[in-house]
């Protein structure tokens, strides 16, 4: 089963842009303080990358104004998040299904079960 994003929630004071390099229809601009419902549930791509640089151009991407992130489905019931400035991966154990993407006040991202 796959992970999907039905809504992007931006709680920060900066604008954000998100994209899926596999399909143009998954590009969204998210205004500061706004929520955006995707016109369809955005698929989170599967992969097994070791860093932001390795994932860039293949994995889903978001720029929050303070940081750039790639994120993907590892295929092991977990989402992986890599930031452009960080050296380690964040692994979220989460069962597949619909997850909103939350941008918090400082521009960090997280996923919230719908």
Domain extents in the chain: 3-113
Locus of tokens 């809504």: 7
Is the pLDDT at 1 greater than 90? The verdict is: no
In the prediction, which pLDDT does 32 show?
98
pTM, full prediction: 0.95
Per-residue pLDDT tens for 50-96?
Answer: 999 999 999 999 999 999 999 999 999 999 999 999 989 999 998 99
> Using CB atoms within 10 A of its CB, is residue 103 exposed (0-12), middle (13-18) or buried (19+)?
buried
In the prediction, which pLDDT does 87 show?
87
Measured distance CA(83)–CA(90) in Å, rounded: 9
Measured distance CA(81)–CA(44) in Å, rounded: 11
Across the chain, mean pLDDT equals 96
Backbone angles phi, psi at 29, to 5 degrees: -100, 130
């Amino acid at each position: 089963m796959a992970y999907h994003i039905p809504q992007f929630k931006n709680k920060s004071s900066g604008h954000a842009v998100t994209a899926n390099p596999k399909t143009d229809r998954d590009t969204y601009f998210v205004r500061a303080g706004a929520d955006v419902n995707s016109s369809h549930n955005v698929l989170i791509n599967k992969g097994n990358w070791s860093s932001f640089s390795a994932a860039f151009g293949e994995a889903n991407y978001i720029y929050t104004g303070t940081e750039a992130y790639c994120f993907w489905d590892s295929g092991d019931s977990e989402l992986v998040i890599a930031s452009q400035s960080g050296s380690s991966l964040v692994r979220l154990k989460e069962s597949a299904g619909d997850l909103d993407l939350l941008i918090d006040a400082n521009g960090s991202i997280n996923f919230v079960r719908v």
